[in-house]
Amino acid sequence: MLPLIKTLSDGAHGTVRVIGNIAAWTGLALVLLVAFNVLSRYLFSFGSVALQEAEWHLMAVAALFGMSYGLNQGGEVRVDIAYARFPPRLQLAVDLIGNLLMAAVALIIAWLCIAYVSASYSINEGSPDPGGLGYRYLLKATMPVAFALLALQGLAMTGHSLLALLHPHPNKS
């Protein structure tokens, strides 16, 4: 059973890392798009509502997928006033419970987002601004996917915490 938990946890962790690496390229796309928008506006007096909205869409995708990738890479912010003083096994237990709760909340949010996306799809929601982007439900569809990915990362971290609790490694000095 433990090898299966390790395999699944490592697989989930790797999946989130790969998706996060792909999503990280939205940062480059965002920089290039902003640079294009600024240069075209000031040098050629050309502006596009759709391109400006695309900036916000790229930012939203980067932020949504950045949640799970940040956790995957250990980039989360921890307030560990008490946690730092806990014995290592208690820290693992806190991590296990916290990761499991995070995964559960992320799954609930992903589930709730589906109705939001469905409502947007049913009215073929687009930008309220003239010249803006259509198919807004495509952007909104990234929300349940991103929260499902966050839940996957939470489950991977839960598995790693469980393995560490069940098979602690002695400290190497």
For the segment 10-37, what is each residue's pLDDT rounded down to a tens digit?
Answer: 888 888 889 888 888 888 999 999 999 9
When pLDDT is cut at 50, 70 and 90, the band that residue 172 belongs to is very low
37-52 tens-digit pLDDT: 999 989 998 888 899 9
Average per-residue pLDDT in the chain?
Answer: 89
Q: What SS3 class is residue 75?
A: coil
Comparing 173 with 2, which gets the higher pLDDT?
2
E-strand ranges in 35-160 read none
The dihedral through the CA atoms of 49, 63, 107, 14 has a sign that is: positive
Other CB atoms closer than 10 Å to residue 115's CB: what's the count?
Answer: 10
Token pair recorded at residue 85:
């003083």
Residues 77-99: tens digit of each pLDDT: 777 788 888 898 898 999 999 99
Tell me the residue type at 111: W
Q: Give per-residue pLDDT as tens, 131-167.
A: 888 889 999 999 999 999 999 999 999 999 999 888 8
Chain centroid to Cα 88, Å, comes to: 28
Q: How many CB atoms lie within 10 A of CB 154?
A: 24
Whole-structure pTM value? 0.85
Q: How far apart are CA 60 and CA 141, in angstroms?
A: 11
CA dihedral 124, 126, 128, 132 (to 10 degrees): -150
User: Is residue 12 a contact partner of residue 159, using CB atoms and an 8 Å limit?
Assistant: yes
